[in-house]
């Protein structure tokens, strides 16, 4: 899912097939399907605190089971920004205070950029 229609159209054309779908959707507020795992990679670090919190609430509302999301485990304290800017976010620090992730997939050891796995019911 993405908010950019052209990107979704391109993905549909190049990678769409039965069992693989692409949707235009605003993660902060649009209804999402109930799934086993929501993969939200490289997204929150562009969002304001308010948009991150709205998105997590929206993920929970979908009644999906797990969230796999980008977190910088060495970053913090977290700094608020206007959505569209960039800064590293550590989801285990305020104002998010996520618990220890169930699994951590380190993408870049130099920056601590990782994908953390949480049960949405624990957030
Ligand atoms: C840095 S890219 C990451 C893309 C991909 N997840 C990856 O890991 O390569 C961030 C993406 O988030 C999308 N995006 C920004 N705000 C969004 C929103 N409110 N809802 C859905 N997608 C959004 C942007 O259009 C962009 O494609």
Give 49-58's long-range contacts (Cβ < 8 A, gap of 24+).
49/78, 49/80, 49/95, 51/83, 52/89, 52/96, 53/95, 53/96, 54/28, 54/29, 55/27, 55/28, 56/96, 56/123, 58/27, 58/28, 58/29, 58/30, 58/32
68 plus 107 within the same structural domain? yes
The answer on 39 and 24 residing in a single domain is: no
Considering the domain architecture, whether residues 24 and 69 belong to the same structural domain is answered as: no
The verdict on 1 and 53 lying in the same domain is no
Ligand 1 pocket, residue 43 CB under 6 Å: yes
pLDDT digits (tens, 9 = 90+) for 13-31: 999 999 999 999 999 999 9
Q: Which domain holds residue 5?
A: 1-29
**CA 65 to ligand 1 center in whole angstroms:** 21
- Do 21 and 57 fall within a single domain? no
- Please check whether residues 14 and 3 belong to one and the same domain: yes
pTM above 0.85, yes or no: yes
- Residue 51 CA to ligand 1 center (angstroms) comes to 13
Q: Is the CB of 87 under 6 A from ligand 1?
A: no
87 and 63 within one domain: yes
The response to whether residue 67 sits with its C-beta less than 6 Å from ligand 1 reads no
pLDDT digits (tens, 9 = 90+) for 80-99: 999 999 999 999 999 999 99
Domain count of the fold of the chain: 2
């Amino acid at each position: 899912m993405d908010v950019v229609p052209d990107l979704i159209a391109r993905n549909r054309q190049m990678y769409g097939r039965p069992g693989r779908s692409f949707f235009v959707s605003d993660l902060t507020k649009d209804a999402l399907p109930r799934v086993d795992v929501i993969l939200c990679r490289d997204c929150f670090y562009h969002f304001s605190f308010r948009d991150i919190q709205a998105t997590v609430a929206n993920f929970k509302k979908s009644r999906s089971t797990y969230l796999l999301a980008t977190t910088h485990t060495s970053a913090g304290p977290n700094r608020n920004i206007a959505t569209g800017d960039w800064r590293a976010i550590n989801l285990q620090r305020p104002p998010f205070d996520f618990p220890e992730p169930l699994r951590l997939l380190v993408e870049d050891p130099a920056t601590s950029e990782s994908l953390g796995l949480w049960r949405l019911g624990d957030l």
